[in-house]
């Protein structure tokens, strides 16, 4: 599960469950919700007519299967949006493909993948219909060593120019600190070209850290948004 404290009063949360099905693959269920907190409604004359809380929900299921060195995945989700006294609903699909160890770069293997998300009809609120944010993504992960990875993604959005995102992760096993416990810490840094567009100040970059204790994993990310402020993101994962 995760929670993102976004700009101003906006927030986003998520809960997910995944279960391996042996050689058959893996099944996942997930819920994502987002809101901007309570807002003030106004009529055509600019007078306040009360308060309302917008809410977006997405409930989905996904299945993944290994086929040789390839990992195939597909997900379907139900999306519902509520604004004042209007609400709308639609469905969408996500597709993904990962190829493990497609090449060796230096001493490290390279994995490649691609995905398409938000394939579905527009979401209609009242008389207004808005298309879903369709996007395609292609990228890869270079495992430079057993403790260091570098990732690069190129994202193609239907309503924006393509953008690139870079991420780095260094894992620090507990054994390197003299501990016999099977846990590790991770330090992360990234840069997202899309978030750097049209905003002044410190923007585009991100940083974070995580701890993996076998049955519990905790991750934190700090994402500055320039003059708009900053966001904080926390994720907890339980294995059982």
Per-residue model confidence (pLDDT) at position 152: 96
183: left (phi over 0), alpha (psi -120 to 50) or beta: beta
HSE-up of 67 (CA within 13 Å, CB side)?
Answer: 7
- For residue 115, pLDDT beyond 80: yes
Per-position DSSP letters for the chain, written without gaps between them = -EEEE-STT-EEEEEEEEEE-GGG-EEEEEEEEEE---EEEE-TTS-EEEEE--EEEEEEEEEEEEETTEEEEEEEEEEEEEETTEEEEEEEEEEEEEEEEEEEETTEEEEEEEEEEEESPPEEETTEEE----EEEEEEEEEEETTEEEEEEEEEETTS--EEEEEEEEEEEGGGGT--SS-EEEEEEEEETGGGTT--SSBSEEEEEEEE-SSEEEEEEEEEBGGG-EEEEEEEEE--
Average pLDDT over every residue of 178-189: 84
Query: CA of 236: how far to CAs of 112, 201, 211, in Å?
Result: 26, 30, 10
Tell me what the pLDDT averaged over the chain comes to.
90
Least confident of 78-87, 113-122, 157-166, 170-179: 170-179
Please give the Cα distance from 52 to 137 (Å, whole number). Answer: 35
Per-residue model confidence (pLDDT) at position 92: 97
From the list 187, 193, 198, 184, the residue with the least C-alpha distance to 166 is 193
Per-residue model confidence (pLDDT) at position 49: 76
- For residue 26, pLDDT beyond 70: yes
Per-residue model confidence (pLDDT) at position 217: 93
Per-residue model confidence (pLDDT) at position 165: 95
Q: What percent of the chain has pLDDT over 90?
A: 57
Per-residue model confidence (pLDDT) at position 141: 96
Q: What percent of the chain has pLDDT over 70?
A: 98
Most confident option among 133-142, 174-183, 220-229? 133-142
Residue 57 backbone dihedrals phi, psi, to 5 degrees: -130, 145
């Amino acid at each position: 599960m995760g929670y993102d404290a976004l700009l101003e009063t906006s927030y986003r949360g998520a809960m997910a469950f995944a279960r391996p099905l042996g050689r058959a693959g893996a099944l996942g269920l997930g819920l994502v919700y987002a809101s901007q907190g309570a807002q003030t409604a106004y009529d055509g004359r600019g007078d306040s007519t009360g308060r309302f809380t917008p809410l977006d929900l997405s409930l989905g299921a996904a299945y993944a299967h290994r086929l040789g060195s390839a990992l195939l995945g597909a997900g379907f989700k139900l999306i519902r949006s509520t604004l004042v006294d209007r609400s709308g609903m639609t469905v969408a699909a996500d597709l993904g493909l990962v190829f493990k160890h497609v090449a060796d770069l230096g001493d490290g293997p390279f994995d490649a993948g691609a995905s398409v998300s938000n394939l579905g009809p527009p979401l209609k609120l009242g008389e207004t219909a808005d298309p879903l944010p369709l996007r395609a993504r292609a990228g890869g992960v270079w495992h430079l060593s057993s403790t260091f990875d570098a990732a690069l993604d190129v994202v193609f959005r239907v309503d924006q120019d393509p953008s690139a995102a870079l991420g780095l992760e260094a894992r620090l096993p507990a054994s390197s600190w003299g501990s016999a416990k099977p846990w590790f810490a991770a330090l992360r840094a990234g840069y997202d070209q899309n978030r750097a567009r049209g905003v002044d100040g410190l923007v585009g970059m991100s940083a974070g850290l995580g701890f993996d204790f076998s049955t519990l994993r905790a991750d934190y990310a700090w994402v500055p948004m320039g003059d708009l402020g900053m966001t904080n993101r926390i994720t907890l994962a339980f294995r059982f």
